[in-house]
Amino acid sequence: MTGPLETGAPVLELRGVTKRFPGVVALDDVSIEVRPHEVVGLIGENGAGKSTLLKILSGVYQQDEGELLVRGAPARFRGPRDAARAGIGTVHQEQSLVGSVSVAENLLLGAEGRSVRGGFYRWSDLNARARAQLAKIGSAISPTARVNTLTFAQRQMIEVVKAISVEDLPDRTVDAEPVVVFDEPTSVLAGEDLETLFAQIERLRTRASIIFVSHRLDEVLRISDRVYVLKDGRCVAEREPGAVDTQELYRLMVGRASTGQYYREDEQGTFDSTTADADEVLGADGLSLRGRFADVSFSVRRGEVLGIAGVLGSGREDLCRAIFGAEPLDGGELRVGGKRVRFRTPADAVRAGVGYVPAERRFEGVAMGMSVAENILLADSSAVSAGPFAVPSKRAALVKQWIERLRVRTPDPGTDVATLSGGNQQKVVLAKWLSSPRLRVLVLDHPTRGLDVGAKEDVYRFVREMCGQGLAIVLLSDTLEETIALSHRVLVMRDGRVAAHFDAAPGAKPTQVDLVEQMV
Amino acid sequence: MNTAVTTRATTGSPTAVPLGRRVLDAGPVLALVLLVVVFSLATSRFFTLPNAASIANQAAILLVLATGATFVILLGGVDLSIEGVMATSSLVTVLLAANDRNGNHLGYVAVLVGTAVGALFGLVNGLLHTRLKIPSFMVTLGTGAIGIGIATVLFGGQPPQLLDDGLRAWGTERIAGMPRLVIIAVAVLALGYLIQKFTRIGRYILVIGGDEQIARLAGVSVARYKLYAFVLAGTASGLAGAMASTQLGVGDVQVGSGQLFATITAVVVGGTALTGGRGGVPQTLVGVLLISVLANGLILVGIDPSIQRSVQGVVIVAAIAATAWTQRHRLRVIK
């Protein structure tokens, strides 16, 4: 959606900002400006410099060269506090609220000011101030509510309130409407919550300027008045949504044309719908887990992708974890390779040839602090062992092979995986499973979450390759589009039960509407 | 606060707290009630006024210790120096008050100094923990041993007798049927509650225990408030050491023997999470009463004293299992 373009002096301006880290220029002569009441989109692949730019805006980093101007006056932020005082508030990607205390305490944390006298809280004053902040965006959330009793959407609303509350700081250096930076706010939202957020941004723009960072191009186009494209630390383009489409943005961002065969549907293998069950790799009959899901049956054949669609609370996340032995099953039968299995722990699942690529990559996918090589060999080191001993030469060869095959961009196999970009970390997670000779089933739990377009394409390519090698894949995805495009069959869950099965052969895919009708 | 505004504000009420969580929060209170009922039925000597006073007396020192320890545990830390601090404080207090070892006669000032010694230990704990970034577990294990060492030197092989009648009275006499130590303990409890609920120190300790990184990014001086928590705990241990001395009438290295276990148990059983950010002083009161009622009741119903410690051990494990029950998960990482 494009609002009326405001003119007027920029509220925030970066001029020729450069930031270097040892061995890399994170930002190279970047100039951008934000005008009053404008929503400015900022897009770029992982590693393009988005987060460095945001950290300079929020005072976490200082630029090496170039100028930062707030309302035309040069500013230098020595810490997050300075940025807040200059009226720049950030809605962080990971929520930054403390669950153990109240909404009011969170909103005014570190800025209690007159609400604390002589070390003592004046609760009525603090709550009244918080209520006034909440009222700014029309929220009726109680300031005394403990944050950990709120829903995700409510918490995000409080994040927004917190970000704009910088305009009320008693020691502010700029007395004007704030600039609110949204750092990839949509990567963890879906459906209704997403619409709520967009409505909030629309309302917010009447009283603030907004920088919206995302890697979902359609969203950026929808919400922004202007879009800046970052690539390799440089600002390579500035566009207005009316004059550009996602294809062009994509090309600018990645530096090559989108193939249009984004999901490689032409590489999707076909199945004769009468294929005998002999080809089944993963089978389920009447799986149930009390309170989560019940009577779920499906079958995944060699080289097949089964997509599981459903809203939050449909039970698909629990199902997916149960397949991997991370949740117990109350009833039903699970088969791998035609043999009945019972997984008491994930280790049982791994032994049976089931791999799991978790949604929480940073916490459950890669072991931070360990090297790329160690991570790749984490799940199964049997191929590089002689008895209980690891054979270094075999290890090195296997690791090298997978780094090359998946094109993991790492200086060397000994590099700490924490230093890699999200896309490369995900490749390490995939390599960890693919390098196991036992692997027969791979559960992909939101495999492209938080990845940029280029890295997503890589993941899609691997999915097709893995199918070609006869793996059975269970896919839970962030978007329906991805689910439909990648899957051979789609299973829709609603309230813990299977609501529908769809065939999704290339050229005969169900539409998103078909699925949504069954989801809600 | 304007009523109309309040009504409107609460209409955007958050989702209900899950039932399991609510049962869990009420769990310690229910357990306490259950224990009281069971012991009352088991023996007629339990539910009497004199026995209530006796339980309160036994609970007094533990309540002071546990109130202080609550702040450190709310941070996600732990203070293991309790017994060592009590020992040093006990010896310092007795040796400064009228005693059979030297000519000192400082009276209440002796208690003040004993308590201040505890605060000093807390300060050292906090500084080592925040400046050198050593886990509180290791720091306080070390300083606790130092406390025992200092006390042993002061002890000199023979327990110094406390001869100050005024101080002795605090440990032994009653006011209106209530042991005087209980009055001190209740005052400490009230102070602890006040700190937790209404002061920046108390609120920030909760915030830091909930998420240290967020506190830091909001410009909260995390190290300072951690330091305060350790000073509060140390002060409580110092006071508890002096209290125990007035009760025993001697300065003793062993004055705090067994109190560390009881304190941590009481705080955790009450419902304050060892991981920090959840619980508080009211919960600790319940925990202290639970431990004290259990100890008292087991004696009255004639359970062999030698297995009482084991019973307490069973209780703490069961209580912690109960608090962690809703968070059980096959992939949960426990260290």
Helix boundaries (H) for A86-227:
103-107, 123-136, 152-164, 191-204, 217-223
Say how far apart CA A263 and CA A260 lie, in whole Å: 8
A65, pLDDT greater than 60 = yes
The rounded percent of chain A whose pLDDT value lies above 70 is 91
A273, pLDDT greater than 60 = no
Task: Answer yes or no: are the C-beta atoms of A177 and A209 closer than 8 Å.
Answer: yes
Q: Which amino acid is at B335?
A: K
How far is the alpha carbon of A242 from chain B, nearest alpha carbon, in Å?
38
Residue A167 in domain: yes
Does residue A151 sit at the B interface (CB-CB below 8 Å)? Answer: yes
What is the pLDDT confidence band of residue A334, given thresholds at 50, 70 and 90? very high
Does residue A95 sit at the B interface (CB-CB below 8 Å)? Answer: no
Are residue A72 and residue A16 in the same domain, yes or no?
yes
What is the pLDDT confidence band of residue A191, given thresholds at 50, 70 and 90? low
SS3 A405: helix
The torsion angles phi and psi of A426, rounded to 5 degrees, stand at: -65, -35
Residue A460 in domain: no
Residues 6+ apart with CB under 8 A from B328: none
**Cβ count near B169 (within 10 Å):** 13
CATH of the domain at A142: 3.40.50.300
Are residue A145 and residue A210 in the same domain, yes or no?
yes
Q: Rounded to an integer, what is the distance from CA A373 to the centroid of its chain?
A: 25
Residue A24 pLDDT: 67
Residue B335 pLDDT: 58
Q: Which of A110, A128, A145 is the closest to B220 by Cβ?
A: A110
Q: Which residues of chain B have pLDDT under 70?
A: 1-25, 323-335
What are the distances in angstroms from CA A96 to CA A81, A106, B54, B89, B275?
A: 15, 9, 48, 42, 18
Nearest to B279 by CA among B327, B225, B210: B210
Residue whose structure tokens are 């990184």? B213
- Between A412 and A286, the more confident residue is A286
* Chain A interface mutation, best of B71, B73, B214, highest count of A Cβ atoms under 10 Å: B214
Task: Answer yes or no: are the C-beta atoms of B66 and B271 closer than 8 Å.
Answer: no
Q: A 327-346 residues with CB below 8 A of B?
A: 327-328, 345-346
Quick check: A346 and B206 CB within 8 A? no
Are residue A74 and residue A174 in the same domain, yes or no?
yes
Are residue A150 and residue A180 in the same domain, yes or no?
yes
Task: Answer yes or no: are the C-beta atoms of B39 and A165 closer than 8 Å.
Answer: no
Q: Which structure tokens are listed for A232?
A: 């390799």
Does residue A520 sit at the B interface (CB-CB below 8 Å)? Answer: no
What are the distances in angstroms from CA A133 to CA A148, A164, A168, A179, B142?
A: 19, 8, 9, 16, 47
Task: Answer yes or no: are the C-beta atoms of A76 and A68 closer than 8 Å.
Answer: yes
How far is the alpha carbon of A7 from chain B, nearest alpha carbon, in Å?
33
How far is the alpha carbon of A210 from chain B, nearest alpha carbon, in Å?
21
The helix (H) or strand (E) run that includes residue A118 is none
Mean pLDDT lowest among A155-164, A172-181, A445-454, B223-232: A445-454
pLDDT in tens, A210-224: 999 887 778 888 889
What is the pLDDT confidence band of residue A409, given thresholds at 50, 70 and 90? confident
Quick check: B14 and A100 CB within 8 A? no
How many domains are contained in chain A? 3
Residues 6+ apart with CB under 8 A from A454: A45, A254, A423
Task: Answer yes or no: are the C-beta atoms of A351 and A300 closer than 8 Å.
Answer: no
Burial class (CB within 10 angstroms; exposed 0-12, middle 13-18, buried 19+) of A513: exposed
Residue A255 pLDDT: 66
Residue B304 pLDDT: 83
Does residue A131 sit at the B interface (CB-CB below 8 Å)? Answer: yes
Is the Cα dihedral B111, B113, B117, B119 positive or negative? positive
Give contacts of B210 with chain A, Cβ < 8 Å.
98-101
Q: Which of A110, A142, A150 is the closest to B219 by Cβ?
A: A110
Give contacts of B200 with chain A, Cβ < 8 Å.
112, 116, 119-121
pLDDT in tens, A108-147: 888 888 888 888 999 999 999 999 988 887 788 899 999 9
Residue A466 in domain: no
Q: Highest-confidence range of A263-277, A441-455, B191-205, B268-282, by mean pLDDT?
A: B191-205
Residue B323 pLDDT: 65
Q: Which domain holds residue A492?
A: 269-353+440-447+477-520
pLDDT in tens, A22-32: 656 788 999 99
Task: Answer yes or no: are the C-beta atoms of A13 and A32 closer than 8 Å.
Answer: yes
What is the pLDDT confidence band of residue A414, given thresholds at 50, 70 and 90? confident
How far is the alpha carbon of B209 from chain A, nearest alpha carbon, in Å?
8
Residue A395 in domain: yes
Q: Which structure tokens are listed for A484?
A: 């439909």
**b/e A320-340 (16+ beta carbons within 10 angstroms → b):** bbbbbbbbebeebebbbeeee
- Between B110 and A450, the more confident residue is B110
The rounded percent of chain A whose pLDDT value lies above 90 is 21
How far is the alpha carbon of B60 from chain A, nearest alpha carbon, in Å?
27
Residue A259 pLDDT: 42
Residue A245 pLDDT: 81
Q: Which of A254, A281, A302 is the last residue of a domain?
A: A254
Q: Which structure tokens are listed for A443?
A: 């559960």
A403, pLDDT greater than 70 = yes
Residue A2 pLDDT: 41
Nearest to A123 by CA among B202, B8, B225: B202
Are residue A287 and residue A373 in the same domain, yes or no?
no
pLDDT in tens, B234-255: 999 999 999 999 999 999 999 9
pLDDT in tens, A374-390: 888 887 777 777 777 77
Residue B259 pLDDT: 93
Are residue A227 and residue A195 in the same domain, yes or no?
yes
Is the Cα dihedral B5, B6, B7, B12 positive or negative? positive
Q: Which of A439, A468, A491 is the last residue of a domain?
A: A439
Are residue A278 and residue A156 in the same domain, yes or no?
no
* Chain A interface mutation, best of B11, B330, B334, highest count of A Cβ atoms under 10 Å: B330
Quick check: A109 and B10 CB within 8 A? no
Are residue A23 and residue A100 in the same domain, yes or no?
yes
Give contacts of B277 with chain A, Cβ < 8 Å.
98-100
Task: Answer yes or no: are the C-beta atoms of B22 and B30 closer than 8 Å.
Answer: no
Say how far apart CA A15 and CA A31 lie, in whole Å: 4
Quick check: A326 and B13 CB within 8 A? no
Are residue A132 and residue A36 in the same domain, yes or no?
yes
Q: Which amino acid is at A226?
A: R
A272, pLDDT greater than 90 = no
Dmax over Cα atoms in chain B, in whole Å?
69
How far is the alpha carbon of A245 from chain B, nearest alpha carbon, in Å?
38
Q: What is the mean pLDDT of residues A335-345?
A: 89
pLDDT in tens, B140-166: 999 999 999 999 999 888 889 998 888
Residue A260 in domain: no
Q: Which of B12, B198, B217 is the closest to A141 by Cβ?
A: B12
Q: Which amino acid is at B138?
A: M
Are residue A144 and residue A288 in the same domain, yes or no?
no
Q: Which structure tokens are listed for A486?
A: 């990648």
Are residue A513 and residue A365 in the same domain, yes or no?
no
Residue A253 pLDDT: 79
* Chain B interface mutation, best of A91, A93, A100, highest count of B Cβ atoms under 10 Å: A100
Residue B14 pLDDT: 37
The DSSP-derived string for A323-371 is: HTTSS--SEEEEEETTEEE--SSHHHHHHTTEEEE-S-IIIIIS-TTSB
Q: What is the mean pLDDT of residues A346-365?
A: 84
Does residue B8 sit at the A interface (CB-CB below 8 Å)? Answer: yes
Residue whose structure tokens are 């001993």? A389
Mean pLDDT lowest among A46-60, A118-132, A226-240, B155-169: A46-60
Mean pLDDT lowest among A195-199, A286-290, A384-388, B256-260: A384-388
**Cβ count near A478 (within 10 Å):** 20
Task: Answer yes or no: are the C-beta atoms of B239 and B64 closer than 8 Å.
Answer: yes
Residue A124 pLDDT: 92
A305, pLDDT greater than 80 = yes
Give contacts of B228 with chain A, Cβ < 8 Å.
none
The torsion angles phi and psi of A500, rounded to 5 degrees, stand at: -165, 155
Quick check: A140 and B12 CB within 8 A? yes
Residue A278 pLDDT: 60
Are residue A44 and residue A188 in the same domain, yes or no?
yes
Quick check: B12 and A110 CB within 8 A? no
Q: Rounded to an integer, what is the distance from CA A133 to the centroid of its chain?
A: 29
Residue A317 in domain: yes
Give contacts of B15 with chain A, Cβ < 8 Å.
149-151
Q: Rounded to an integer, what is the distance from CA B55 to the centroid of its chain?
A: 16
Give contacts of A139 with chain B, Cβ < 8 Å.
12
Residue B13 pLDDT: 36
Is the Cα dihedral B54, B56, B62, B65 positive or negative? negative
CATH of domain B43-317: 1.10.3470
Nearest to B273 by CA among B287, B260, B262, B261: B287
Say how far apart CA B180 and CA B173 lie, in whole Å: 6
Partners of A120 in the β-ladder: A117, B199
Say how far apart CA A281 and CA A352 lie, in whole Å: 11
